[in-house]
Structure 1
Amino acid sequence: MFDPLAALRERSGPGCDVYLTGTVFLDIIFTGLDSAPVRGTESWARGMGSSPGGIANMAAALARLGLRTSLAAAFGDDMYGDYCREELETGEGIDLSLSHTVPGWHSPVTVSMAYEGERTMISHGHEAPPGPHAPPHREAGTAYDPDAPPCPPPAAACVSSLVPGRPQEWVATAARRGSRVFADVGWDETGRWDLGALAELAHCEAFLPNAVEAMRYTRTDCPRAAAHALAEHVPLAVVTLGAEGAYAVDAGTGETAHAPGIPVEALDTTGAGDVFVAGFVTGSLAGWPLPDRLAFAALTSALSVQEFGGSLSAPGWPEIAAWWRSTGCAQEPRRTRYAFLDRILTGCAAAAPPRRAVPTLGFRPPES
Structure 2
Amino acid sequence: MIRTVLGFRQTEGMLDPLAAVRTPQDPACDVYLTGTVFLDIIFTGLDSAPVRGTESWARGMGSSPGGVANMATALARLGLRTCLAAAFGDDVYGSYCWDSLAHGEGVDLRLSRTVPGWHSPVTVSMAYEGERTMISHGHEAPPPEQPMPGLPHWGVPPARAAVASLVPGEPQEWIATAAAQGSRIFADVGWDDTGRWELAELTDLRHCEAFLPNAGEAMRYTGTDCPRAAARALTEHVPLAVVTMGPDGAYAADGRTGQTAEVPAIPVEALDTTGAGDVFTAGFLMGSLAQWPLADRLAFAGLAAALSVQEFGGSLSAPGWSEIAAWCHRVHACPAQDPAELCRYGFLRVLLSDSERPWPLRRAVPTIGFRQLP
TM-score bin, normalised by smaller chain: over 0.9
Give SS of 1:252's match. Answer: coil
Letter of the structure 2 residue corresponding to residue 125 of structure 1: G
Would you say the 8 A contact 1:206–1:237 is kept in 2?
Answer: yes
Question: Per-residue CA shift, 1:180-220, capped at 9, x if unaligned?
Answer: 11001111122211111111100111000111111111122
Structure-2 residue corresponding to 1:137: none
Would you say the 8 A contact 1:268–1:308 is kept in 2?
Answer: yes
Question: Per-residue CA shift, 1:37-68, capped at 9, x if unaligned?
Answer: 22222222222111000000000000000000
- Residue 29 of structure 1: which of 38, 42, 46 is its match? 42
* Shift, 1:69, TM fit: 0.4
Indicate whether 1:211 and 2:232 are aligned.
no
Structure-1 residue corresponding to 2:262: 258
In structure 1, distance between residues paired with 2:260 and 2:45: 38
* Shift, 1:346, TM fit: 2.2
Question: Per-residue CA shift, 1:293-330, capped at 9, x if unaligned?
Answer: 00000000110112221112111111101101111564
Structure-1 residue corresponding to 2:230: 226
Indicate whether 1:154 and 2:161 are aligned.
no
Structure-1 residue corresponding to 2:276: 272
Would you say the 8 A contact 2:73–2:107 is kept in 1?
Answer: yes
Give the TM-score taking structure 2 as reference length: 0.91
Give SS of 1:321's match. Answer: helix
Indicate whether 1:336 and 2:339 are aligned.
no
Would you say the 8 A contact 2:91–2:119 is kept in 1?
Answer: yes
Structure-1 residue corresponding to 2:107: 94
Indicate whether 1:70 and 2:83 are aligned.
yes
Give SS of 2:315's match. Answer: coil
Structure 2 alignment gaps of length 5 or more: 1-13
Q: Please say which of residues 98-107 and 265-274 is displaced more in the overlay.
A: 265-274
Structure-1 residue corresponding to 2:359: 351
Indicate whether 1:108 and 2:133 are aligned.
no
Structure-1 residue corresponding to 2:11: none
Would you say the 8 A contact 2:186–2:208 is kept in 1?
Answer: yes
Structure-2 residue corresponding to 1:119: 132
Letter of the structure 2 residue corresponding to residue 121 of structure 1: M
- Residue 49 of structure 1: which of 47, 62, 80 is its match? 62
Structure-2 residue corresponding to 1:303: 307
Matched length:
355
Give SS of 1:307's match. Answer: coil
Would you say the 8 A contact 1:313–1:357 is kept in 2?
Answer: no
In structure 2, distance between residues paired with 1:279 and 1:329: 24
- Residue 194 of structure 2: which of 190, 200, 211 is its match? 190
In structure 2, distance between residues paired with 1:264 and 1:43: 27
* Shift, 1:167, TM fit: 1.2
Structure-2 residue corresponding to 1:16: 29
Structure-1 residue corresponding to 2:10: none
In structure 2, distance between residues paired with 1:278 and 1:148: 28
Structure 1 alignment gaps of length 5 or more: 134-144
Give SS of 1:323's match. Answer: helix
* Shift, 1:353, TM fit: 4.3
Structure-2 residue corresponding to 1:289: 293
Percent identical residues? 72
In structure 2, distance between residues paired with 1:356 and 1:243: 29
In structure 1, distance between residues paired with 2:247 and 2:60: 22
- Inter-CA distance 357–232: structure 2 relative to 1 (3 Å threshold): farther
Give SS of 1:312's match. Answer: helix
In structure 2, distance between residues paired with 1:306 and 1:365: 31
Question: Per-residue CA shift, 1:127-177, capped at 9, x if unaligned?
Answer: 1111223xxxxxxxxxxx544633210000010011111111111111111
Q: Please say which of residues 22-31 and 41-50 is displaced more in the overlay.
A: 41-50
Give SS of 2:353's match. Answer: helix
- Inter-CA distance 32–166: structure 2 relative to 1 (3 Å threshold): same
What pairs up with 1:128-207 in 2 under 5 angstroms? Answer: 128-133=141-146, 146-147=148-149, 149-150=151-152, 151-207=155-211
Give SS of 2:126's match. Answer: strand
Would you say the 8 A contact 2:242–2:250 is kept in 1?
Answer: yes
- Inter-CA distance 179–328: structure 2 relative to 1 (3 Å threshold): farther
- Inter-CA distance 52–28: structure 2 relative to 1 (3 Å threshold): same
In structure 2, distance between residues paired with 1:73 and 1:315: 23
Give SS of 2:316's match. Answer: coil
Give the TM-score taking structure 1 as reference length: 0.93
Deviation >3 Å, runs of 4+: 145-150
**What is the RMSD of the two structures over their aligned residues, measured on CA atoms?**
1.5
In structure 1, distance between residues paired with 2:365 and 2:166: 28
In structure 2, distance between residues paired with 1:211 and 1:366: 51
- Inter-CA distance 216–71: structure 2 relative to 1 (3 Å threshold): same
* Shift, 1:265, TM fit: 2.2
- Residue 241 of structure 2: which of 237, 243, 246 is its match? 237
